[in-house]
Amino acid sequence: MAVSPHAFPPRKRRPSAGAFVSPKLADINLVKSLLSLSQEISSFKPFQCLLKRNSVSSINKSKLLSILFDELIENPASVFFSPSTLLCFEEMYIVLQRIKTLLEDCSNGSKMWMLMQIQVLSNNFHELTLELSTLLDIFPFKEIELSQDVEELVVLVRKQCGKSKPVVDPGDVFLRREVLTMLDRIEKEIVPDQLKLKKVMEDLGLRDGSSCREEIESLQDEIQNQVDEKSKSDIVSLIGLVRYANCVLFGSSTASKPDHRRQKSTSDLTIPADFRCPITLELMRDPVVVATGQTYDRKSINLWIESGHSTCPKTGQTLIHTNLIPNRALRNLITMWCREQGIPFETVGNNEKVNSVKGTKAAFEATKMTVSFLVNKLSGSQTMEAANGVVYELRALSKTDSDSRACIAEAGAIPILVRYLGSSVGLEHPNLQVNAVTTILNLSILEANKTRIVETDGALNGVIEVLRSGATWEAKGNAAATIFSLSGIHGYRKGLGRKTRVIKGLLDLAKDGPTSSQKDALLAILNLAGDRETVGRLVEGGVIQMVSGVIDELPEEAVAILEAVTRRGGLAAIAAAFNIIKKLGVILREGSDNARESASATLVTMCRKGGPEMVAELAVIPGIERIIWEVMGGGTARGRRKAATLLRILRRWAAGLDLDTNNVVDSSNMITMTVGTSRTILQA
């Protein structure tokens, strides 16, 4: 049986010769595999730019060899090979497989990087041709009966291979020199000539925005295939050049298309608790371990640290260092789970691929030139459609790295973006409003930009207006995410918490929005709940009622907020949370480890501060002691400790002993009266 071509999955880079092994098949099946492989190579289209002659030569030789293999299959009597002949064909199979992989690599990879490696790749084609020539030199014509025409074809291929020399098209050499010259001039802060830039892009087949974006993605992938830092840095420079060319030559080609990248493909799935980031509660894409041993998604913990925090978000312990160690075992488990669920998964996002590499002067200057071009263009935009195209490009650029975010803010983009946050813009041009607020969200990731946004006249009010009356749920969700980002700084958190419009906007979005927007709002509320003064306003605004409404759909987020609010909210929060006790009991029984931990901690706080009425409400839940024992037997360490405390409180109450209130409550009569009033309202 012939080896299926699908036995060799697509590769991002060409493997070494040792990566291929002989298929070890019987005579006829080996020939069938050779025929299939040669036909597959023959089906390749010659390269349209770069290495044209190399690709044409390899494809044509494979076509001629397929005629040989086809004749052998039609004449089965001739395919009982001697060991030496069998070895020759096995080696030929390996060489053809390597030719196929090299063609695939060049077809699917980055054109810019291919140009930089043009001599190396040409040598690779030549080496494979020489290996094929050697095998044809020892081809056993006497042992195998071939027709005269086919034998002449084999001899022809052998002669062609023997005369082969490394070939690099002079046009490719010139094009490479042009690109290197451009990079050198950019490094010296000289803006590239637009006509020359366009000619270079066209010669590489990059003739529109779509092909440029694909090229950038290919370059970002190629970074992962390199081992030396210089090659990685060179690729970063090329990314900067292509990104600049894309903006200058093809800037607004996709601006009218809405961006749905913030929608989660896993939103309808129950994600295992261990696969969720403790900060965002989303599926981790790049899990890393911090100094305390806790695992977070790299993007989330980086944002936490960049926001000025020096503690572990989950344990509260001070981080003795900020090194992030990849949790490869967990990443592999997440990848396997995603594959089983049939959902897409990338272990590391494109931004992190570039951010992990040291930047270059050329890349930085290219970014500055790109930003300057876009901001100047936005300043002079005459129509909303034109402005939308530029803002879309700024949005995309602001996602890439810290340098881009710094350059955009320093170029004065924030005051201009504020123009497009208003409700009137949202009504007429909803995509423009989404692009503008999302750009500000991306900029806010950088610590210095938080201050710029807050201090820019109208920026914060514009974001709040989008949160309250944005034209789309995406706009509102991204405004909520911006509030979350800005509230990472303690001083801004207090200021935001004092704004009634922020509190109401977040609570309304958490109650009424779609799942992705709800999560953005809940995370912002959780951040604001870190301030005791703000918690009082949240309670007055109805945060407990909101939590009660969403706790069934988003238990982890809701219970985390409830824990924070009851811990800092005083008697009013405890009284308002009375009717949620039974729901917390359900989470103790059925929730994830993180949700059970928060539920246990919340119930401990409520029982200690709320007095006997609270404990009595918990005690009537069927099987509550068994449920608490189950929490004590598994889950997180903190969850087990809180469950043990909760069990002790229940047993002291059942024995008629005073509760372990830690002197938090001074007036049990007042608490009983307040809780009783809440119960009366519930019964009504």
Kindly report the length of the chain: 684
Closest CA to 571 of 528, 614, 509, 516: 614
Ranges of residues in the chain with a pLDDT under 50 are 1-14, 16-19, 253-266, 347-353, 661-684
List of domains in the chain: 27-168 (no CATH), 171-250 (no CATH), 284-341 (3.30.40.10)
Which amino acid, residue 171?
G
Determine the 3-state secondary structure of 302 from DSSP: helix
Q: DSSP class of residue 133?
A: H
Burial class (CB in 10 A: 0-12, 13-18, 19+), 531: buried
Q: Which two tokens stand for residue 49?
A: 């730019």
State pLDDT tens for residues 287-296: 888 888 788 9
The dihedrals phi and psi of 636, each to the nearest 5 degrees, come to -80, 160
pLDDT for 79 equals 57
The dihedrals phi and psi of 275, each to the nearest 5 degrees, come to -90, -5
Q: Which two tokens stand for residue 147?
A: 């027709």
The two most distant CA atoms of the chain are separated, in Å, by: 109
- For the chain, state the CA radius of gyration: 32
Task: Check if the beta carbon of residue 443 is closer than 8 Å to that of residue 459.
Answer: no
Closest CA to 556 of 261, 268, 272: 272
pLDDT for 77 equals 60
- Provide the phi-psi class of 542: left if phi over 0, else alpha when psi is between -120 and 50, else beta: left
pLDDT for 481 equals 92
Q: How far is CA 306 from CA 309, 326, 494, 632, in A?
A: 7, 18, 19, 35
Q: DSSP class of residue 483?
A: H
Q: DSSP class of residue 578?
A: G
Q: DSSP class of residue 17?
A: G
Q: Which two tokens stand for residue 12?
A: 């991002």
Cα 72 to chain centroid distance, Å, stands at 50
Report the alpha-carbon distance of residue 324 to residue 356 in Å, rounded. Answer: 12
For the beta sheet containing 287-289, the strands, ordered from the edge strand earlier in sequence to the opposite edge, are 295-297, 287-289, 325-326
Report the alpha-carbon distance of residue 456 to residue 474 in Å, rounded. Answer: 23
pTM (2 d.p.): 0.72
Q: Give me the long-range contacts of 488-494 (CB less than 8 A, separation at least 24).
A: 488/303, 488/304, 488/306, 488/307, 488/308, 488/309, 488/450, 488/527, 489/307, 489/308, 489/450, 490/308, 490/531, 492/450, 492/454, 493/527, 493/528, 493/530, 493/531, 493/534, 494/531, 494/533, 494/534
Task: Check if the beta carbon of residue 68 is closer than 8 Å to that of residue 153.
Answer: yes
Closest CA to 404 of 458, 349, 354: 354
Contacts of 61 (CB under 8 A, 6+ apart): 129, 132, 157, 160, 161
Task: Check if the beta carbon of residue 539 is closer than 8 Å to that of residue 562.
Answer: no
Report the alpha-carbon distance of residue 494 to residue 550 in Å, rounded. Answer: 25
Burial class (CB in 10 A: 0-12, 13-18, 19+), 91: middle
Q: To which residue do tokens 């295992």 refer? A: 272
Q: Which two tokens stand for residue 335?
A: 């990848």
Around Cβ 678, how many Cβ atoms within 10 Å?
Answer: 17
Task: Check if the beta carbon of residue 141 is closer than 8 Å to that of residue 151.
Answer: yes
Q: How many helices (H) and strands (E) does the chain have?
A: 35, 3
Q: How far is CA 673 from CA 378, 430, 567, 679, in A?
A: 61, 50, 20, 10
Determine the 3-state secondary structure of 539 from DSSP: helix
Report the alpha-carbon distance of residue 570 to residue 665 in Å, rounded. Answer: 10
Report the alpha-carbon distance of residue 200 to residue 206 in Å, rounded. Answer: 9
